[in-house]
Structure 1
Amino acid sequence: MQKAMVTISPETAHNLKLTSAEIANIWTNYQNDTMAICTLSSFLQHVDDPDIRSVVELSLKQSRMHIEKLEAFFTKDHLPIPVGFSEKYDLNIEAPRLFTDDFYLFYVENIGKLGAVAYTLALSNSARPDMCQYYTECLSESAQLLNKAMETMLKKGTFIRSPYIPEYKEVEFVKKESYIQGLLGGHRPLNVLDMTNIYFNLIQNQLGRTLLMGFSQVARSQQVRDYLVRGRNIADKHVEIFGSTLSKEYLPSASTWDVLPTASKIAPVSDKIMMFHVSMLNSAGIGHYGQSLGLGPRRDLGAIYVRLMMEIMAYADDGADIMIDNGWMEQPPQAVDRDKLAKG
């Protein structure tokens, strides 16, 4: 006997409760976009280059639009709006310039990459039509922002390209197990997948190194300053490791990001935002190292990614302790503690 098909009208679909994944998506996005609004607003106080100002303004405009839509989702589903970050408490609009215009552009382009990845994951984890529509729009906006940032960097001559390889003439298949070896003795040359992962991780660590260098000068808490200096040194070491990995294979390393922060000692944003930045970069770094580990079959590279990933995880744990001690870590929505309920 044929079963009747059940259809859900658009009106009914939009009234479905949000799943845990969808709540996680909008909760995380709210944190990220409120942080971005404060950070980008501080940038805009000191942008001289009109082309770079246009990119930063577009990024800020998108974040403000996102917050309006995210708050509407929380309200519609009768969920409390997260605290996130506030321009009133987390932004010092009168602070002098801490970073250069070129760094502002570098920041928007590379943080935009992380956003595009996050929106892709959010879309793949969404089921409710309005959620799917929202993240489809976010992906389109991210592409627009990334393209504009990249075009501007190319125009300014600041875009860092990944290494080139000689033109290859034929398709080959792996014939020996030595293709994945490399811990003992010789190893094969890096392939384009290896180079892509090394290049991406190198660039992200250059971003973290410069950002934390600037923040370590202006953080109000000595505990936070010390933590940021430690993170700066870790990022610098990882840049050196990835750069030397390319150099050992006679491949050009991506140009180092040598635009230093100013000598300002006044914080444009709160210590809470600085620590959130570090937490965000730690999470992204662990994820990228794990992905690189899965995609790169050469064992010596795998050993490097495991070692560096463990170092970031230890650093991230200490950062979480600082945020908890200062009351800066907002708790995500969680499931009910059934054991606690059962005990009355």
Structure 2
Amino acid sequence: MAENGTGVVEFVLMGFQLQAAQGMGLFIVFLACYVITLGGNLGMILLIQSNPRLHTPMYFFLGHLSFLDSCYSSVIVPQLLETLGTHKMIITFERCATQFFFFTLYASTECFLLAVMAYDRYMAVCNPLLYTMAMTPRMCLGLVATAYAGAMVNSVVRTGCTFSFSFCKSNHIDFFFCDLPSLLKLACSETSLREQVIFLLAFLVITTSTSVILVSYLFIIRAILKIRTASGKAKTFSTCASHMTAVALFFGTLVFIYLKGNMGKSLWEDKIVSVFYTVVIPMLNPIIYSMRNKEVKEALKKVLRRMKVS
């Protein structure tokens, strides 16, 4: 085991431990997902920037969501592809810490941003007359900046606590990236206090975000129920459907992984769920918003028509 006076200097990512043919099959699947993820999310950002009709608070936040999905997928998937394609399983201590830091940063920011987007939908549905006055460009920028700032604090503290442990039990991480539960299994120093800080931060991030989302949607549901016509209810609900789907997918997997205790009885189960929120969800979000959003579909049709003409 490679180590220096302070502990491990490199880790071995065990990944999925598959045969060569199976590994190559997964490599192709994950590569395709990553290409779709980058194409879909970067395409969504360009679509929002190029269409003046999409220069609204909701799409401003959606553009940042697409940026975050591209970033946190890029923190994990290239490393996964390298492991599957070249069977290079070594990751340095510094690279592992960097991956952990940025993944925590982007995932935490997405938690807060989804809460901000729920608040935006609450204002649009429950206070439509005050919406443009309340959700000014300055307010939107401030909300996004707060999301990034809160996530930065969380990421710095979690990374500092995690990588101050002494890793002397082993340097083999039985996972496909440097994730917290797998790293904690390798620690041999006293971890209880720092573990409490780490999980308290995770609890605060998730509960704060979900509380804002739940309260916002309670008011939204109450407002929808007051609408007399079925078509009016359906139209109002449709403006929130994409966001509700994204929230259910993202927070459902996070809660499963981080609030159920240690890694769980089935490590394969944890790996599959982690693949879902690191590979699949970033790919699905632009599809969810483009398929269920009339304005995005119309903007996309205009772009496609221009491409045909040119």
Give the structure-1-normalised TM-score: 0.29
Higher helix share goes to which structure?
Answer: 2
Give the structure-2-normalised TM-score: 0.31
